[in-house]
A and B are shown apart, each in its own frame.
Chain A
């Protein structure tokens, strides 16, 4: 199908984009890679009055280093994320998870910021951002504010972005010396996660000093597996200890039941995938 008519704006700076969003009327949509928005518009599930396209805003693209963090521009495409040397060095988990997103055509257009702003519970990057304690920089006409990942994801397809605000960049603390792994379970012809687990683990000698575990599709928002994190803190780095800790992965989750899986199956799966993810991240 063809989307309903809309007015189109293509700003070249963040300020122009904020003005265009403010001037766009009742129902304005921001267009990033369009790989979620255009399908929804084709099905007429969205029919915005104005579309503000961010693709010509150069300042929203690319990755830079800033002290103990790397800063990823919201419009950096999935393919650029996969090939980026700073991400490879300081947050390879992001590249590893992004490689599992969709297919090469979608990765050429889809963006890091778009995937986070869309906040689909089955999307891979929200749980990764949460596990890495990323911070989200949001710009509005009144200025900028920074929101931690734990507060950015509010509900199903809902984030802390207020009307008229743009996600401009994502700050990811450098994780040098940490082991990381993204373990995903999906159908072959559909890359969306049925369940996936992002594991970020720091070892000190024979022990696991600290672990941060993000869960994909185990509720309306991405979750941290607090029970697993507590159980791993300070334990001896053995496969047995990891398996025991992974038994906590379903605690406080509320996954949905759909065509792919029932909720109880997801709660079983998340324990299996957590064991695999942590085992790999801890190098066991």
Chain B
């Protein structure tokens, strides 16, 4: 066992973990943060994406011991005081999900993308979330949601993006 000190979604934890424990399993099973999910065994799907010291990573491909001394943000820690984060709100409004399994990872990857690129084009959004697979939506509404949220996160009006009503 190794002892780790981590901050997760703003709270500090000191825990013993086996070195082989994956960060995602630590989050789900030791901290009960089941908002972050596991979708594959091959580091391909991105469902497990969290932010480690502010950068999106696949938490199934990092050992929990490696997060010692770090700040982790999961899907459960992005909304403020019960209000949705602009990215969550945009996924909701633009129908950026169907079954919802890919959504936590999609949202965490998309926030990371928009932090780096405040006004991504459609192609840049598609490139930016290439590490996240969705079996349901066909990505179209996910891309719209990310672009709408980018506008809101950087203080632009939503008018630049097409709304769902207008396209259907």
Contacts and interface: CB of A to CB of B under 8 A. Distances in A.
Interface of A: 1-8, 10, 34-35, 38-39, 41-43, 51, 53, 55, 79, 102-106, 108-109, 188-191
Interface stretch (B60-68, B72-80, B86-94, B143-151): B60-68
10 contacts: A1-B41, A2-B22, A8-B19, A8-B63, A42-B60, A53-B65, A103-B132, A104-B56, A105-B131, A109-B61
Contacts of B46: 103, 105
Interface residues of B, number: 32
B27 interface: no
B22 A104 contact: no
B50 to A, nearest CB: 9
A7 B19 contact: yes
Interface of B: 2, 18-22, 25, 41-44, 46, 49, 52, 55-58, 60-63, 65-66, 109, 112-113, 128, 130-133
A105 B20 contact: no
A256 B10 CA distance: 49
Q: Count chain B CB atoms within 10 A of each CB in A10, A35, A55, A103 and give the residue with the most.
A: A103
B41 A108 contact: no
Contacts of B55: 79, 108
Contacts of A53: 65-66
Nearest to B17: A8
Query: Can you list the 9 inter-chain pairs with the closest CB atoms, starting with the nearest?
Result: A103-B131, A8-B19, A108-B55, A3-B20, A39-B43, A103-B130, A105-B131, A38-B61, A105-B58
B43 A104 contact: no
